[in-house]
Amino acid sequence: MADELQNDELRCIGCGAVLQSEDEEKSGYLPASVLDKKSFEDNVYCKRCFRLRHYNEVQDVELSDDDFLNMLHELNEENALIVNVVDLFDFTGSIISGLQRFAGSNPIVIVANKSDLLPKSLGEGKLRQWVTEQVQSYGIRPQNVYLLSAMNKASVKNFMEALETERQGKDVYVVGTTNVGKSTLINQIINIATDSEDTITTSYFPGTTLGKIEIPLDDERVLVDTPGIIQKSQLSHYLDAKDLKVVTPRKEVKPKNYQLNDNQTLFFGGLARFDYVMGKGKESFVCYVSNELYIHRTKTEKAEELYESQLGKLLSPPNADSAADLPSLKRHEFKIKEPSDIVFSGLGWVSIDAVNITVAGWAPEGVDVTVRKQLI
Ligand SMILES: Nc1nc2c(ncn2[C@@H]2O[C@H](COP(=O)(O)OP(=O)(O)OP(=O)(O)O)[C@@H](O)[C@H]2O)c(=O)[nH]1
Ligand SMILES: [Mg+2]
């Protein structure tokens, strides 16, 4: 309802927030001197989008979990195709459990985005199979699964053609957790259809899009960008701009293979830690994290001391300034029974072939460390 009432209000074309001149700290702010001159024909950006687009500076605004939940609850009142974008590099962090319930009787299509970050050698068939299994294990029964890179025009073009069949004349709602690339995908679609570039604001900060953004389709229907759901368990919420830049991969991730003996430890900067706790000697552990993230190997018995003395220095990110705000590392132990990945939500994963070994993953308290069936 709230949204219908707001439909006649002017919205920021970059983030979807309703424009206002009352409170500079709130979303959609624009000084009255500017806002008063604008009409529905203008493409207006709020001050926050302006700063994000031109200076890559983000202003935090309050959005409550309720806002997102309400949005999800509204989905089953629509007659629409739900496109759920997930991030292949942060798959665990981008699953919305309960999506099937929120969708009601609306069909769901999964778009597994950021395929450009995974090794080219990974076969498409195997990857699609893995994604399908994973979403099904969360009770999501998609009509179809697409793999693509929103950065790549050709792959989005293919998806657009498929979308025409998938949506059967309906509206399309693009939903997902924050930072998975929903707006980047829609920008690419707008770019292909109209030649105008980067209309919607995108950024590597979580929480970029703040309201619904409706893009008209050929048949009077709309394609809707939505604000990302915030998963508190994602590492990105604990990092500042400088750190985010290091941990967010921008290119194909180069696997880094470490031969470890039991009682050896890897540090991922000072953000996470992996221990090979117990096994039958030397095993191979392949790390999939941003190419720019420093990995430090040490003996487990020395790890604690090293962390205490080197956090924010050798073990960085976090940087010297942000280290103090990072919750301390919490240990999660796993007995490996089949080839598996130990996933550090938002950071990457360690791929393990060996079975019948014990490992431990450490991440800042509140950030998920999980085990899943091996991806690669
Ligand atoms: N490597 C890679 N990066 C991508 C891709 N798509 C999006 N990104 C990056 O991911 C980050 C988040 O993209 P957005 O489009 O703002 O994500 P969003 O889902 O709209 O995020 P919210 O509005 O916060 O919910 C940006 O830094 C994008 O450049 C992709 O296909 N490959
Ligand atoms: Mg967005």
* pLDDT digits 0-9 by tens, 324-369: 989 999 999 999 999 999 999 999 999 999 999 999 999 999 999 9
* pLDDT, tens digit (0-9, with 9 covering 90-100), for 84-96: 999 999 998 899 9
199 touches ligand 1 (CB under 6 Å) = no
Angle at 83 between CA 62 and CA 375, to 5 degrees: 95
**Does the beta carbon of 150 lie inside 6 Å of ligand 1?**
yes
For the chain, give the mean pLDDT.
92
Of 41 and 331, the structure prediction assigns the larger pLDDT to: 331
Residue 273 β-bridge partners: 267, 362
d(CA 255, CA 11): 43
Measured CA to CA, the distance from residue 343 to residue 341 in angstroms comes to 6
Asked if residue 101 has its Cβ within 6 Å of ligand 1, the reply is no
Percent of the chain whose pLDDT exceeds 70: 97
Beta carbons of 90 and 345 less than 8 angstroms apart: yes
Would you say the pTM of this structure is higher than 0.85?
Answer: yes
pLDDT at residue 72, rounded to an integer: 83
Q: Band of the pLDDT at 5, cuts 50, 70, 90? A: very low
For residue 261, is pLDDT > 50? yes
User: 115 alpha carbon to ligand 1 midpoint, in Å?
Assistant: 12
Q: CA 171, CA 175: separation in Å to the nearest integer?
A: 13
Evaluate: CB of 114 within 6 angstroms of ligand 1.
yes
Residue 7 has pLDDT above 70, yes or no: no
What's the CA gap between 192 and 9, in Å, rounded? 28
pLDDT of residue 97: 85
- Given the structure tokens 């490992």, which residue do they identify? 359
pLDDT at 8 over 70: no
Backbone Cα Rg of the chain: 22
Q: How far, in Å, CA of 349 to CA of 361, rounded?
A: 10
- In angstroms, the CA 22 to CA 9 distance is 15
203 lines ligand 1 (CB under 6 A): yes
- The pLDDT value recorded for residue 359 is 98
> Which of the four pLDDT bands, split at 50, 70 and 90, describes residue 140?
very high
| Ligand 1, atom 10, residue with closest C-alpha | 181
Minimum-distance ligand 1 atom for the alpha carbon of 150: 31
Question: Where is pLDDT greater, at 292 or 72?
Answer: 292
Residue 230 has pLDDT above 90, yes or no: no
Does residue 162 register a pLDDT over 90? yes
| Residue 62 pLDDT grade (very low, low, confident, very high; cuts 50, 70, 90) | low
> Ligand 1: which residue has its CA nearest to atom 14?
181
Residue nearest to atom 6 of ligand 1 (CA): 181
Phi-psi sector, 278: left (phi>0), alpha (psi -120 to 50), beta: beta
The pLDDT of residue 226 is: 93
Residue 318 has what DSSP assignment?
A: S
Atom of ligand 1 nearest to the CA of 251: 1
In the prediction, which pLDDT does 274 show? 98
Asked if residues 235 and 364 have their Cβ atoms less than 8 Å apart, the reply is yes
